[in-house]
Amino acid sequence: MNDVIEQSRKFFDSGYYCAESVIRSIAGHYGADPDLLTKVATGFCAGVSRSSGMCGAVSGAIMAIGLIKGRTSPEQPVYPVYILVQRLLDSFRKEFGSINCGRLVGCDLNTPEGQTWFKENDLRSRCSNFTGQATRMALEIIRSAD
Q: Who's near 6: CB < 8 A, 6+ residues apart? A: 132
Report pTM.
0.96
Range of the domain at 19: 2-144
Say if residues 45 and 17 touch (Cβ distance below 8 Å). Answer: yes
Q: How many CB atoms lie under 10 A from the CB of residue 67?
A: 17
- pLDDT at position 1 is 78
Report the domain count for the chain: 1
pLDDT in tens, 89-146: 999 999 999 999 999 999 999 999 999 999 999 999 999 999 999 999 999 999 999 7
* Rounded CA separation 72/91 (Å): 26
pLDDT in tens, 4-47: 999 999 999 999 999 999 999 999 999 999 999 999 999 999 99
Say if residues 44 and 74 touch (Cβ distance below 8 Å). Answer: no
pLDDT in tens, 63-88: 999 999 999 999 999 999 999 999 99
